[in-house]
Structure 1
């Protein structure tokens, strides 16, 4: 579990950075962060601000891999991601962004940007390195078979975690195994495309012009529908988002019906991190009843 960055620790971390902006820092304001790290807005006397995302206990490759994922999204698909000024084993220093405006125009622009991401095709499923999803490694070993990849790297991968196994019954595990075996009948074959990997509302913010900016990726090459399932199943945006998405990248018939199945990855990740958290086990059982 992370060690929170109190004011003394964030000061120590900040002073350790090699950046030329260090001497001018006059204030550090905590922002909402995630399960792995803390996030602060750092202000200078001249009004310049930066976002510092840091952890003294993070795996040494976590922030470098996040920076590489942000760069991949921007360079390969042209979508807007935060500018990274510095990266180390303990921190990311990035530009300051704004909360998303939650307007129709914003969600339409976000839908089109997300669809543009999914027009970038991969040669295989996976990625050239493993990554991180929360506190646990995201296994990205490449394969030519999307169904095999999703079963092994996105479902069975979490069934090996002790907390997930303790939360699920033998009947649950058997049902999940049946789903893994039946994936080719449940999910139509589709190409591998560039995935953000963790896109929910909280990972969409805005720039000064109000345009969408994508943060906190867990990139890989996988199906477009698997990427879409996260934002569809976690407090979904208005339908304008999905309509705008389909202007760029039309979806296969029945895609909405498959969203709960593909969202199993997120439910199993939650169980692997936190055990029987909230209604997660009940949600897994609903999916098993429907699809196994």
Structure 2
């Protein structure tokens, strides 16, 4: 059975009269597609193969919280179950002009500034890709980021296979030094996987956030996902507008590679080292190496 047939069967079991499905590309976790129903309605849907997991339930809760608590634009959730997620269809392709990135900066800044909290974490664990995201509550941001967002990956088999003892010890030293590297900042609600593939648009061109890995964390961790990943030239305007609204602490650009370590380690753990994640990790942790281990 093809991926489209699997998705169609599960949509029909949920009561949707499916006419056709155009498989979506770009996702590594789910079977996804743009769905046209018999009455002409267009939707976005995705399903999982293998054992039931709560990925879609966590994703839908995260989308609802980004919208309801943080005021961000997210798709309407039409169906969420362990095996099926159905959302309103967004409008491809997204514009990548200055106006779009300015509007996105205003939305993300409002999300971060309006959701300041006193604890890091979330009320439930989540997912980053196919692997669990530990969102256990923690009052100290440096401990939270070090343990839950960096060191957490060291026990993953694919990470163990490519990082040697010196690499792991350097990462541990970096985490111990986080209070000197990252200024104390209150947590806020973060998207958690804010790279440009997870930013789409409405038919009217307004930015919309999808595929979150929500938690209360450092706002700069969200920024690192955009700063360090390939992006459109016009996205420079995002950072200029965000800085104007939020008054980012000095030195934020230098902190981006450290905060982005979590994403590189996740890529290694998923077997998705397409951009040389191991080399990047070793470059970032180089100052924390010591001769003799």
TM-score by length of 1: 0.93
Query: Unpaired segments of 5 or more residues in structure 2?
Result: none
Is structure 2 residue 285 aligned with structure 1 residue 288?
yes
CA contact (8 A) 1:261 1:291 kept: no
Is structure 2 residue 230 aligned with structure 1 residue 230?
no
Residues 216-227 of structure 1 mapped to structure 2, 5 A cutoff? 216-227=211-222
Tell me: CA distance 1:224–1:81, structure 2 relative to 1, closer, same or farther (3 Å).
same
Aligned to 2:31: 38
Residues 94-173 of structure 1 mapped to structure 2, 5 A cutoff? 94-98=87-91, 99-119=93-113, 120-173=115-168
Q: Say how many residue pairs are matched.
A: 285
Is structure 2 residue 187 aligned with structure 1 residue 180?
no
Alpha-carbon separation, structure 1, partners of 2:220 and 2:129: 21
Alpha-carbon separation, structure 2, partners of 1:31 and 1:74: 24
Query: Structure 1 segments of 4 or more deviating over 4 A?
Result: 275-278
Q: Secondary structure at the match of 2:32?
A: strand
Tell me: CA distance 1:275–1:39, structure 2 relative to 1, closer, same or farther (3 Å).
closer
TM-score by length of 2: 0.93
Alpha-carbon separation, structure 2, partners of 1:226 and 1:249: 15
Q: CA deviation at 1:55?
A: 1.2
Tell me: CA distance 1:277–1:27, structure 2 relative to 1, closer, same or farther (3 Å).
closer
Is structure 2 residue 8 aligned with structure 1 residue 14?
no
Residues 81-100 of structure 1 mapped to structure 2, 5 A cutoff? 81-98=74-91, 99-100=93-94
Q: Secondary structure at the match of 1:274?
A: coil
Alpha-carbon separation, structure 1, partners of 2:135 and 2:190: 12
Alpha-carbon separation, structure 1, partners of 2:276 and 2:266: 14
CA contact (8 A) 1:162 1:272 kept: yes
CA contact (8 A) 2:171 2:288 kept: no
Is structure 2 residue 237 aligned with structure 1 residue 240?
yes
Aligned-residue CA RMSD (Å): 1.6
Alpha-carbon separation, structure 2, partners of 1:105 and 1:96: 22
Q: CA deviation at 1:7?
A: 2.8
